[in-house]
């Protein structure tokens, strides 16, 4: 049953997926601790410590059935989470209890698990970015030729195409994907380093044999599926790792917020809308409204994510010597919620990018209202070819443009610049000759080709290499 008498994070109830919530769950955390204890025992046995196959088998038998009640009761007594779980595991594994956590410090399970969880979370984030890119690739291909107004300073500039604008959103997400892939490739286990990173406890266990200590660490690393361990550390891996990882994830917030803001503005122009459910209510007071609430939520969560990256930044800078515990409480909130926010953002992006609604007639009407201004150079050059004076025509076009703009802005009337040019004998052009210069498709430059090239050269190889991540559907709480 829902608990209505205490705070519950909206990430759990409204925003983040079950997949991402599991990655940061107690079950995933403490099962990973047990996997690390098993890996350590196996590696130590291989290097000659008196650890039996029977003890390892006993640990394996109970790696997933965590006795939380025992661990919670023990932690109330000893006030130490790792030793409480060592104790609880030992209750289930009486033959192996003496070799659990042998030679290790708390950060052996804590920090190594954090790295493992970050890798799992990054992989889920990248999977969803791929899904968004696949959706937007279809959209860009479909609308690569459709002219639309482009804006600088949020004022109509030259034309672009609906598909070309989508590639701008895609390219920022692609940059995020590259950075996330870089972080995944750079992740290294903390390894088997001991209390202050010197491996002194393991040197004691193996009678000063450095080769065996290094072999244990390499073995654990391989068992946990990593290619490398950090080369040096204190008690913890450098907290700059958390900053680097969350910075890459927060970059997604920047890209998502920019895309969502564009869609919100386009919705105001009535050119494009996010999906709208059949029975969805846009406003409690205004039944006709279709508010861009999905994109608004993307922007809200993106702000949270971008600000959250300050937490690991300050944590990294305030660590004393080999470690200080003021990282822990902040870290366990900031890292988890940063990933939960990114996951929530991507869930909405998957939904929005799969159902964007385009209104071609509105887009065309808005283009044609501005095109006479944009076509002025072409009109001028046609008049010059018929014997007109370029300098004179340029000035007359400027005057006509100013007057036509005043009619639009001050009188609320349609753009009459074409009629003004037609009536001006200095140009010597008929309406047919002028309108021949008003084909929007002639003003989009290489935009359609750019879309084709970008999809073919940049996005297609990514989608081909990650085909299993395409076609994801999400159910949103809206």
> Catalytic residue positions?
153, 283
The 3-state secondary structure of the chain reads CCCCCCCCCHHHHHHCCHHHHHHCCHHHHHHHHHHHHHHHHHHHHHCCCCCCHHHHHHHHHCCCCCCHHHHHHHHHHHCCHHHHHHHHHHHHCCCCHHHCCCCCCHHHHHHHHHHHHHHHHHHHHHHHHHHHHHHHHHHHHHCCCCEEEEEECCEEEEEEEHHHHHHHHHHHHHHHHHHHHHHHHHCCECCCCCCCCCCHHHHHHCCCCHHHHHHHHHHHHHHCCCCCECCCCCCCCCCHHHHHHHHHHHHHHHHHHHHHHHHHHHHHHCCEECCCCCCCCCCCCCCCCCCCHHHHHHHHHHHHHHHHCHHHHHHHHCCCCCCCHHHHHHHHHHHHHHHHHHHHHHHHHHHHHCCCEECHHHHHHHHHHHHHHHCHHHHHHHHHHCCCCHHHHHHHHHHHHHHHHHHHHHHCCCCCHHHHHHHCCCCCCCHHHHHCCCCHHHHCCCHHHHHHHHHHHHHHHHHHHCHHHCCCCCCCCC
End-to-end CA distance of the chain: 21
**461 CB burial (10 A radius; 0-12, 13-18, 19+):** exposed
């Amino acid at each position: 049953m829902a608990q209505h008498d205490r705070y519950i994070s909206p990430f759990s109830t409204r925003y983040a997926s079950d997949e991402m919530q599991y990655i940061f769950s107690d079950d995933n955390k403490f099962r990973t601790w047990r996997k690390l204890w098993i890996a350590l025992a196996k590696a130590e046995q291989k290097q000659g410590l008196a650890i039996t196959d029977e003890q390892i088998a006993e640990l394996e038998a109970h790696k997933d059935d965590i006795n939380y009640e025992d661990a919670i009761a023990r932690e109330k007594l000893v006030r130490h989470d790792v030793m409480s779980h060592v104790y609880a595991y030992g209750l289930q594994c009486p033959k192996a209890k003496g070799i659990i956590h042998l030679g290790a410090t708390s950060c052996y399970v804590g920090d190594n698990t954090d790295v493992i969880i970050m890798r799992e979370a990054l992989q889920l984030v990248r999977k969803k970015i791929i899904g968004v890119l696949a959706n937007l690739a279809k959209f860009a291909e479909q609308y690569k030729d459709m002219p639309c107004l482009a804006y600088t300073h949020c004022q109509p500039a030259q034309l672009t195409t609906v598909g070309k604008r989508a590639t701008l959103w895609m390219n920022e997400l692609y940059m995020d994907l590259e950075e996330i892939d870089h972080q995944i490739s750079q992740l290294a286990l903390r390894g088997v380093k001991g209390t202050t990173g010197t491996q002194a406890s393991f040197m004691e266990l193996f009678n000063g044999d450095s080769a065996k200590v290094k072999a244990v660490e390499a073995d654990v690393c391989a068992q946990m599926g990593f290619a490398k361990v950090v080369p040096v550390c204190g008690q913890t891996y450098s907290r700059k790792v958390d900053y680097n990882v969350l910075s890459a994830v927060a970059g997604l917030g920047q890209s998502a917020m920019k895309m969502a803001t564009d869609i919100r503005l386009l919705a105001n122009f009535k050119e494009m809308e996010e999906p709208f459910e059949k029975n969805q209510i846009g406003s409690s007071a205004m039944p006709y409204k279709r508010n861009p609430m999905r994109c608004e939520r993307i922007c809200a969560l993106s702000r949270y994510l971008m600000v959250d990256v300050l937490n690991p930044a300050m944590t990294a800078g305030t660590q004393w010597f080999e470690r200080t515990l003021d990282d822990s409480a902040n870290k366990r909130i900031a890292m988890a919620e940063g990933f939960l926010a990114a996951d929530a953002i991507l869930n909405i992006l998957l939904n929005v990018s799969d159902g964007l609604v385009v209104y071609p007639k509105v887009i065309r009407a808005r283009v044609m209202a501005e095109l006479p201004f944009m076509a002025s150079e072409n009109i001028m050059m046609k008049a010059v070819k018929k014997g007109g004076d370029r300098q004179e025509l340029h000035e007359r076009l400027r005057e006509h443009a100013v007057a036509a703009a005043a009619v639009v802005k001050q009188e609320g009337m349609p753009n009459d610049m074409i009629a003004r040019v037609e009536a001006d004998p200095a140009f010597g052009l008929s309406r047919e000759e002028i309108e021949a210069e008003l084909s929007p498709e002639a003003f989009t430059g290489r935009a359609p080709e750019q879309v084709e090239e970008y999809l073919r050269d940049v996005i297609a190889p990514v989608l081909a290499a990650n085909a299993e991540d395409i076609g994801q559907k999400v159910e949103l709480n809206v």
